[in-house]
Amino acid sequence: MNIVIVGSGYVGLVTGACLAEKGQHVTCVDISESRIEGLKRGVVPIYEPGLDEIIDRNAKVGRLEFTTSLPDAMKKAQVYCIAVGTPPDEDGSADLSHVLAVAREIGQHMTERSVIINKSTVPVGTADRVRAAVDAELARRGVQIEFDVVSNPEFLKEGVAIKDFMEPDRIVLGVESGHARQVMDELYAPFAQEGARIIHMRVRDAEMTKYAANAMLATRISFMNEIAGLCERLGVDVESVREGISADPRIGTRFIRPGAGYGGSCLPKDVRALARMAHSAGFDPVLLSAVEHRNDQQKSRLYEMVSSELGDDLRGKTVAVWGLAFKPGTDDMREAPSITLVESLLKAGALVRAYDPEATETARRAMPQDPQAEGTLRFMTEQYEAVEGADALVLVTEWPQFRAPDFARLRTQMRYPVVIDGRNQYQPDEVREMGFRYQSVGRP
């Protein structure tokens, strides 16, 4: 099958590369010329483990191509997958301008019966808006061409995106015509043959499924952060509680780690967009509002811990930050808790020495540039270099290389021995025995 993927970001590139790997002929389109030029030369614009090799292998045999021209790409295919961004609008709703721009362009150039797959995360009812946008362009051209709009939300996790795409828990297909179902089943046949569970449903149901999934994950995190806050006040160790509740198969082990709050390109914006959807539908999303509120508070926790150790005036103080990406395994900085922390540290006048194994470049662009802030942010190239002369070390993102640091070395390097562990990676007693003041989330 020939397929066009529009939008060559985290989702579009992974989708395109993995479908090519499964034997489809894929053309990835993006409006960013530099991105496409780079991809043509084999430069992958994002960090996603394993993606480079798949792109390289499939590009070499001609199964994966890149272009900035959607009309050119459309000449070879009748299946178009929209994977452009849906960033939050000012009111928290999903900004559909990119999705609808692509829909209009498809309508301007479609020549044969087509299937339009929406893989971007979009509010319920967006497929109807995509259909209307395409219809309007067809009407302008005075042509009648049949087409379907399918919802096929993506559930991959950055950092393990290749595995998630290749071995999905489920593939959700919102399809409402026999033709669309046949095309989608054919597209995913190689996955179904390997045992992937394909769940067919109506388009609106599929659109909602994506939001419900992310809202559930965010709820679990905020719930556990709330329990952690309570544990801190009651002299309880949240890690024992976590172990105790996760043994219940109804609860399980995933997404119940307390920490620095959730970030990333999906959970924050999707919770907000779902809440907006609820408001627009005249329904008060009390739970979603609380989930978001708890997360906003949690993102400030690490700064509160630093200031409880060093005070609120951090002029002349140096704070080392380990990990900037919103989670390990990615260079994605969107809504990362590190941004909230660094912003507060700079406002309080600190010198921040930050280190991340993969996200330095994206962090340079994402970090606040507040001219009022008195502090200074420096990006370091090595984790121990960041700690030199520091008055506190804050672990924000739990990359594996931070899991078992050389504490003796830290003790000699740091000016003042404070460790703030935003991910409960270390054993409180052990760290304290080595002479550190130590704070973590939800542990006495």
Please give the DSSP secondary-structure letter assigned to residue 94. Answer: B
| 260 binds ligand NAD per the rule CB under 6 A | no
CA torsion sign for 411, 413, 414, 419 is negative
* Closer residue to ligand NAD (CB): 66 or 379: 66
Contacts of 91 (CB under 8 A, 6+ apart): 276
**Under 8 Å between Cβ of 268 and 298:** no
Helix, strand, or coil here: 58?
helix
121 marked as part of a ligand binding site: yes
Map tokens 């978001």 to a residue: 292
Q: Which of 265, 295, 383, 413 binds ligand NAD (CB under 6 A)?
A: 265
253 marked as part of a ligand binding site: no
| 261 binds ligand NAD per the rule CB under 6 A | no
CB of 244 to ligand NAD, least distance (A): 31
Site string for ligand NAD, 404-433 (x = CB under 6 A): ------------------------------
| 319 binds ligand NAD per the rule CB under 6 A | no
Burial of 426 (0-12, 13-18, 19+ CB in 10 A): buried
23 marked as part of a ligand binding site: no
**Under 8 Å between Cβ of 68 and 34:** no
258 marked as part of a ligand binding site: yes
Map tokens 């390990």 to a residue: 328
174 marked as part of a ligand binding site: no
Stretch that binds ligand NAD, among 82-90, 110-118, 289-297, 312-320 (CB under 6 A): 82-90
Instruction: Compute φ and ψ for 278, nearest 5 degrees.
Output: -60, -50
Cα gap 363→332, rounded to integer Å? 8
Q: Chain-centre distance of CA 63, in angstroms?
A: 27
107 marked as part of a ligand binding site: no
Q: Which of 1, 2, 32, 201 binds ligand NAD (CB under 6 A)?
A: 32
Residues forming the active site = 266
Closest-CA residue to 20 (of 57, 50, 46, 47): 57
Site string for ligand NAD, 123-162 (x = CB under 6 A): -------------------------------x-x-x----
| 4 binds ligand NAD per the rule CB under 6 A | no
* Closer residue to ligand NAD (CB): 19 or 348: 19
**Under 8 Å between Cβ of 441 and 326:** no
Q: Which of 3, 102, 130, 321 binds ligand NAD (CB under 6 A)?
A: 102
| 12 binds ligand NAD per the rule CB under 6 A | yes
| 98 binds ligand NAD per the rule CB under 6 A | yes
Helix, strand, or coil here: 29?
strand
Residue type, 362: T
CB of 266 to ligand NAD, least distance (A): 5
**Under 8 Å between Cβ of 86 and 94:** yes
Structural Rg of the chain based on CA atoms: 24
**Under 8 Å between Cβ of 330 and 47:** yes
* Closer residue to ligand NAD (CB): 1 or 31: 31
Q: What is the DSSP string of 228-279?
A: HHHHHHHT--HHHHHHHHHTSTTT-STT---SS---SSSHHHHHHHHHHHHH
* Closer residue to ligand NAD (CB): 122 or 351: 122
| 9 binds ligand NAD per the rule CB under 6 A | yes
CB of 66 to ligand NAD, least distance (A): 11
CB of 303 to ligand NAD, least distance (A): 26
Query: 283-297 burial string, b = 16+ CB within 10 Å, else e?
Result: eebeebeebbebbee
Closest-CA residue to 42 (of 58, 23, 22): 58
* Closer residue to ligand NAD (CB): 83 or 116: 83
90 marked as part of a ligand binding site: no
Annotated binding site for NAD(+): 30, 35, 86, 121, 158, 269, 334
**Contacting residues toward ligand NAD, per CB under 6 A:** 6-12, 29-32, 35, 83-86, 98, 101-102, 120-121, 154, 156, 158, 265-266
Annotated binding site for substrate: 155-158, 210, 255-259, 263, 327
